[in-house]
Amino acid sequence: MEYQEELKNLRKEIDDIDQTILQLLNKRALLAKQVGEIKKKNNLPIFVPSREKEIFERLEKLNTGPLSNDVIKHIFREIISACRSVEENIKVAYLGPKATFTHQASLKYFGSAVDHIPVSTIKDVFEEIAKKKVNYGVVPVENTIEGVVNYTLDMFLDYDLKIIGEVILEISLHLMSINPNINEIQRIYSHKFAIAECRDWLQKNMPNAQIIEVESTAKAAEMARDDYEAAAIASESAAIVYGLHILERKIDKHLYNYTRFLIIGNEIPQPTGKDKTTFIFSVKNEVGALYKALEPFYKNQINMTKIESRPSKKEAWDYIFFTDIEGHIHEEKVSKTLEELKSSVPFFKILGSYPKAQDV
Ligand SMILES: C=C(O[C@@H]1C=C(C(=O)O)C=C[C@H]1O)C(=O)O
């Protein structure tokens, strides 16, 4: 009986703390609202990724446990998302339908207190931002197994939009169906990247099943919901949203299966000290042109983390180079080096300077 008294007292203390947390959360939201009013008067963007990053880093340093930094980040992602929504209702278009990995990336980046709006194609994401129907967009750009999503890169040639951030997700692909018996599965739906990532497992374990490519893993889950002889390869959240049984977990069997997503918008965020700059350029078709174009990066000791070529689509065998470097365009060393490159090539355009993804 004594323990009951102790439980009661502890729960009373928890209730008191919850009340204080509640009051503080609302106080925080009201302060964010005031910040929002100043931003609106001065025509500044509501969403400030550099400030959010600063908050996460500060909390990580302050945290003494027992809650882990991951848990703290998760909780504060939602607190910040909620406070931001008091300033303004932010709209984000993502490559849908609901429960795609892009949807998860959008939730991970913005938290749940924004309007996450599913659209059917990568082009539609760009189009919605360009038409100012949404503030931001989220699209996949590369996967550690399957490589670059060319279509996303090509969109930057057609639209004058900026990359304002990036987010990396670990990908786990599961086999799921409305039918709990794996032996009755005749057809498997999924996205072509997901099918490729699971090819070994499929060949070994379901060699006779018909494999059907669809636009997304979430669409695959939706189709499998209406077909008792079918399964889908999709995410855990797709299984929950479409009410499917997971028949086999993690059939991609890759140790490092990550997808990087880009957050697209119109502004260039402020520097955070851990930033990345993405730009595109072309070179003349002559000996040493690419070597000469890249020399300033070596000379000024700027780390180039990626370079990817894509057809320009203007002339046959004419290429555009998509390039990532470390640093922010507002840093003198970076802007000077890019000026140097710009003056020596026929085409150059900045796609964005933005905080590097924190994890992975
Ligand atoms: C309150 C602000 O607006 C937004 C909300 C933030 C927060 O809740 O802490 C932080 C950055 C902004 O994205 C701000 O800019 O400080």
pLDDT at 256: 87
For residue 240, what pLDDT is reported? 95
pLDDT given for residue 247 in this prediction: 97
The answer to whether the CB of 171 is under 6 A from ligand 1 is: no
**334-358 pLDDT, tens digit each:** 999 999 999 999 999 999 999 999 7
The mean pLDDT of 246-273, rounded to a whole number, is: 92
Closest residue CA from atom 5 of ligand 1: 84
Q: Where are the beta strands (DSSP E) in the chain?
A: 91-95, 115-119, 136-143, 147-148, 162-170, 174-177, 187-190, 210-213, 230-234, 245-248, 258-265, 275-282, 304-311, 319-326, 347-355
pLDDT at 345: 94
Quick check: 360 pLDDT over 60?
no
Query: Which protein residue's CA is at the shortest distance from atom 4 of ligand 1?
Result: 84
Distance 194 CA to ligand 1 centre (A): 36
The domains of the chain are located at 15-83, 91-170+258-264, 174-248, 270-355
Q: Whose CA is nearest to atom 1 of ligand 1?
A: 32
CATH number attached to the domain at 91-170+258-264: 3.40.190.10
Residue listed under structure tokens 């002339």: 315
Please check the confidence at residue 269 and state whether its pLDDT lies above 80.
yes
User: What is the average per-residue pLDDT within 311-325?
Assistant: 86
Whole-number pLDDT of residue 312: 82
Tokens for 307, please give them.
């370079």
> What tokens appear for 65 in the block?
């446990």
ipTM (interface pTM): 0.97
* Whether residue 114 has its Cβ less than 6 Å from ligand 1: no
pLDDT value for 46? 95
Q: Which CATH number fits domain 174-248: 3.40.190.10, 3.90.226.10, 3.40.50.2300, 3.40.720.10?
A: 3.40.190.10
Give nearest CA residue, ligand 1 atom 10: 52
| pLDDT band at residue 314 under the 50/70/90 scheme | confident
The residue-averaged pLDDT of 133-159 equals 92
Q: How would you classify the pairing of strands 162-170 and 258-265?
A: antiparallel
Q: Which residue's CA lies nearest to atom 2 of ligand 1?
A: 32
Q: Is the pLDDT of residue 316 over 80?
A: no
What percent of the chain is modeled with pLDDT above 70? Answer: 99
Q: Residue 47 CA: which ligand 1 atom is closest? A: 13
Q: What is the pLDDT at residue 317?
A: 77
Give the model confidence (pLDDT) of 27-47 as tens digits: 999 999 999 999 999 999 999
> Does the Cβ of 231 fall within 6 Å of ligand 1?
no
pTM over 0.80: yes
Is residue 359's pLDDT more than 80? no
Report the atom number in ligand 1 closest to the C-alpha of 79. 8
Rounded to the nearest integer, the mean pLDDT of the chain is 94
Query: How many Å lie between the centroid of ligand 1 and the Cα of residue 333?
Result: 29
Is pLDDT above 90 for 61?
A: yes
Q: What SS3 class is residue 273?
A: coil
329 by Cβ neighbours in 10 Å (0-12 / 13-18 / 19+) ranks as middle
Angle, to 10 degrees, between the axis of helix 2-41 and the axis of helix 69-87? 50
Residue 340 CA to ligand 1 centre (angstroms): 36
> Ligand 1 centre and the CA of 68: distance in Å?
23
9 Cα–ligand 1 center, Å:
37
Mean pLDDT of 96-105: 93
Q: What is the pLDDT of residue 1?
A: 67
Query: What pLDDT digit, counting tens, does each position of 228-239 carry?
Result: 999 999 999 999
Residue 84 beta carbon below 6 angstroms from any ligand 1 atom = yes
- Please tell me if the domain spanning 91-170+258-264 has the same topology as the one spanning 174-248: yes
Ligand 1 contact, 252 CB (< 6 A)? no
What is the fold, at CATH topology level, of the domain defined by 270-355? Alpha-Beta Plaits (3.30.70)
Tens of pLDDT, residues 276-302 = 999 999 998 888 999 999 999 999 999
Taking alpha carbons only, the member of 228, 222, 234 closest to residue 198 is 234
State whether the beta carbon of 293 lies less than 6 angstroms from ligand 1. no
Question: Residue 228's Cα: distance from chain center in Å?
Answer: 33
Task: State the pLDDT at residue 32.
Answer: 98
Superfamily of domain 15-83: Chorismate mutase (1.20.59.10)
